[in-house]
Structure 1
Amino acid sequence: MKKAVVAIAIVTTLTMSGCATVPTASQEESDKAKTFEVLTDKAGLYIFRDSFVGQALKKTVWFDGEALGETAPSTFFYKAVSAGNHTVSTESEFSENHIYLQMESGKNYYINQYIKIGVFVGGAGLEQVSEKEAQQRIVPLKMNSLKNNITTPNVIETNKTGTRKGMYSIY
């Protein structure tokens, strides 16, 4: 019995110490974002991460080449943006990870950032999620502070024709 208690204590300590954290927004800001209010003159962008995989990893997310901040488990970002063509990107060790969105004012858009298991470290991916599913998944999460103590690398390169070529390595 004593060995079982010690083993549980060790596993719990290791699990808890392996969780990444990031600065979060105030409870008021988080609660307001979770009303999922639709703005008439802007589009709403929610980027969330709720998977269990990659608990110890923080992954940077960019909007049109500007760093929003780092994600951690059980967190989300909210940003009101202008309508138009936009790119959401995340760092990954596997491949370029971008989602291209044609955003309209008066609508919310929901992007899930998920972690993929890798040989040495997990990589991140992005997927657009339906409003109903995303809202259910976002409600229990904490809202990240935008630009939560990271520096903005130059992540999107534009070639001579004006098209985006991808993400620079940030390592």
Structure 2
Amino acid sequence: MKVSSTLILAGALLISGCASVEMASQADSAKAKQFSPPSKGNAGVYVYRDSFIGKALKKDVWIDGHCVGESAPDVFFYTEVEGGKTHKVDTQSEFSPNTLELMFEAGKNYFIRQFIKMGVFVGGAGLEQIPEEQGKQAVAKLEMAKPGKCSAPR
């Protein structure tokens, strides 16, 4: 009985509740949502989280081992990376990081959706590349989080 009560409580926390992170200014968020081309020689990367599940969880995101930030529900990050190279995008998960390795072409913007999935003890996170138009529509509904603060060292 005690185990099932604990599982029900853990499941409820994964679905409800709301984690929060430090947010960027409204001006910075609005500027990023203009989806301007990145700086010369770079690719723009939007990493966002819009999933309903796991509202109480925060999950770190890294690109090439550098902290992009700690995500929370309904936030996005914007950063630039060197174009013409393959980059490794990681997120925290229940047992190990989930990774995407993607070639980012200079002059283009890319959209990576972080989603929360049910785990054994706590929710895990996954990443998927999203088509540009779909990514723009999703990011337009979100607010930008302050970059560079991750909870776990890398």
Q: TM-score, normalised by structure 1?
A: 0.76
RMSD: 1.9
4+ aligned runs moved over 6 Å, structure 1 = none
**Cross-structure match for 1:18:** 17
Quote the residue 1:130 is aligned against: 131
Separation of aligned partners in 2, 1:138 and 1:101:
20
User: Which residue of structure 1 lines up, in the alignment, with residue 5 of structure 2?
Assistant: none
Q: Which residue in the other structure is 1:62 paired with?
A: 62
Q: 1:23 to 1:153 in 2, by over 3 A?
A: same
Q: Deviations over 1:68-112 (max 9, x none)?
A: 110000000000221111110001015541111111111011100
Structure (1 or 2) with the larger CA radius of gyration: 1
Contact 2:43–2:104, Cα closer than 8 Å, also in 1: yes
Mapped contact 2:90–2:100 kept (Cα < 8 A)? yes
The answer as to whether partners of 2:91 and 2:125 remain within 8 angstroms in 1 is yes
1:27 is matched with 26
User: Could you tell me which residue of structure 2 aligns to residue 81 of structure 1?
Assistant: 81
**Mapped partners of 1:142, 1:132: distance in 2:** 17
- What residue identity is the alignment partner of 2:99? H
Identity of aligned residues (%): 52
Aligned length: 139
The structural deviation recorded for 1:152 is 6.0
Distance in 2, matches of 1:95 and 1:40, equals: 33
Deviation, 1:40, is 5.2
What is the rounded CA distance, in whole Å, between the counterparts of 2:58 and 2:38 in structure 1?
30
